[in-house]
Amino acid sequence: MVAKLKRQYGSGIEPLTYLGQNYMAVDRSLLPELLQVLRDEEQFDYCVDITAVHYPKREKQFDVVWILYSFPRNERIRVKTTIADGESIPSATSIWATTNWLEREVFDMFGIQFDGHPDLKRILLPDGWKGHPLRKDYGIIQQDKEWVQINLGIESGQ
């Protein structure tokens, strides 16, 4: 399957395996089409999860990971791409409806913009919160002091 995709898209796809789990690192430019192809032609009809990993030291700071599963093939695959801070990424909401909230969470936690998302706003944190907690430069006891003081009326949430 990956070979076929590689033929189709050329060097943008790099198939990898770790501990028996397949994933592919793909170029950001391939993205919406590749996901669409994975769903339509390769039957990855279930998007398990979308998440991101932050590598502050890299030039392209974020790994965005799609975890896919195919019911007919009983197979999992991960699609991984790297983007720089501030770069946006196409939304997959039109491909898998489930990505709506998952993308919102990634946006909430990492500040990654998803183009074409119907309602991209914070989901777990309150709307006015500043900062994206799962970035590595966000300290574990850091908080949006201003928000806490205004909305909760207390000095600090700690």
Partner 1 sequence: MTDTTKYLSHLELGERDETFLDSNELIINMGPQHPATHGVLRVILKLDGEKVLGTECVIGYLHRGVEKIAENRTYAMFNPYVDRMDYVAAVSNGLGYCEAVEKLLNIEAPPRAKYIRVLLTELNRIASHQLWLGTHALDIGAITPLFYTFRDREEILKIFEKYCGARLTTHAFRIGGCQYETYDGFERDVKKFVDFVRPKIDEYEELLTTNRIWVERTKGVGVISDKDCIALGVTGPVLRASGVKWDIRKAQPYAAYSNMDFEIPTGQNGDTYDRYLVRMAEMRQSLRIISQAVEKIPEGPIMAKIPKVLKPPVGEIYHSIEAPKGELGYFIVSDGSTQPYRVRVRPPSFVNLQALDLMVRGQLVADVIAVIGTLDIVLGEVDR
d(CA 89, CA 26): 13
Phi, psi of 32 (to 5 degrees): -60, -35
Q: In which residue are the tokens 């998952």 written?
A: 102
109 binds partner 1 (CB under 8 A): yes
As measured in angstroms, the least distance from the Cβ of 135 to partner 1 is 10
Q: Which is nearer to partner 1, 8 or 125 (CB)?
A: 125
- Reference 83, options 61, 51, 50; nearest CA is 61
Q: How far is CA 124 from the centre of its chain?
A: 16
Report residue 109 as tokens. Answer: 């936690």
67 binds partner 1 (CB under 8 A): yes
d(CA 89, CA 107): 11
84 binds partner 1 (CB under 8 A): no
As measured in angstroms, the least distance from the Cβ of 55 to partner 1 is 9
Site for partner 1 in 121-150 (CB under 8 A): 121-127, 133-134, 136, 138, 140
d(CA 63, CA 116): 20
Among 61, 81, 91, 100, binds partner 1 (CB under 8 A): 100
Among 27, 45, 85, 144, binds partner 1 (CB under 8 A): 45
DSSP-derived pairing of the beta strands 21-26 and 75-83: parallel
Report residue 97 as tokens. Answer: 């409806």
Among 9, 28, 46, 116, binds partner 1 (CB under 8 A): 46
Which residues form the interface with partner 1 (CB under 8 A)? 18-19, 21, 23, 45-49, 51, 53-54, 65, 67, 71, 74, 76, 78, 96-98, 100-102, 105, 109, 118-119, 121-127, 133-134, 136, 138, 140
